[in-house]
A = this chain, B = another copy of it.
Amino acid sequence: STNTSEHSSGRAYADYSIFKGKAALVMTPLPARFSKMDSGGLKVDRKGVVLLKFMPAIGQRKYDYEKKQYFALSATEVGSLIGLGPTETCEFFHDPSMKSSLEGLVKKTLTVSPLGDGNGYFFNLSVLNAVQKTNERLSVPVTKAEFAVIRAACGFALPHMMGWSKVMQVQHPEHRGLLPGQRELKMVTDVW
């Protein structure tokens, strides 16, 4: 059935991997997820992210998958990253246990700071775990060329993370099917 073929097409996986001496950084984009409304329209159900995966090196071009650490960048964090000037630094703080009983016990900090020679950035992830009393640091130097790829790829990903790409592609043949709360929107756009 059509349904089956949709399932079999499934997901697609692609990343951008930067393997360096002490650690590796693997970036993966995830688009916004939409759910169907009663009106038949689609709305963003979960915003997309650019997922960073850090892994420490355990040999030449070998990395310890078991010790991997994730950090998911939101749209605004991606905006901060791609707007970074050559001598600027940005820093993000995440609590992976937010709104759970473990809130505040694990603190993740991602710092992106310029390399000494002004030719790229350090991506530094620190994971402070108050329960296990550990503080892991994973640091990957990113060259200017690699950062140009990150900037272009993340700039491309942004409208997809936000769901804007789908909004722009869907046909809007008659502005029918407006949400109740959006009748005003129609009026406004009729007269702007």
Contacts and interface: CB of A to CB of B under 8 A. Distances in A.
Interface string A34-48: 100101111110000
B170 A78 contact: no
Contact of A40 (B10, B77, B96): B10
A188 B72 contact: yes
Contact of A162 (B7, B83, B153): B153
Contact of A172 (B14, B33, B72, B184): B33
Interface string A63-93: 0010010111001111110110000001000
17 contacts: A6-B173, A7-B40, A10-B37, A10-B40, A10-B42, A12-B43, A13-B41, A14-B164, A31-B167, A31-B170, A70-B184, A79-B146, A79-B149, A80-B148, A94-B192, A98-B191, A156-B164
Give 3 nearest A-B pairs by CB, closest first: A14-B163, A83-B148, A80-B145
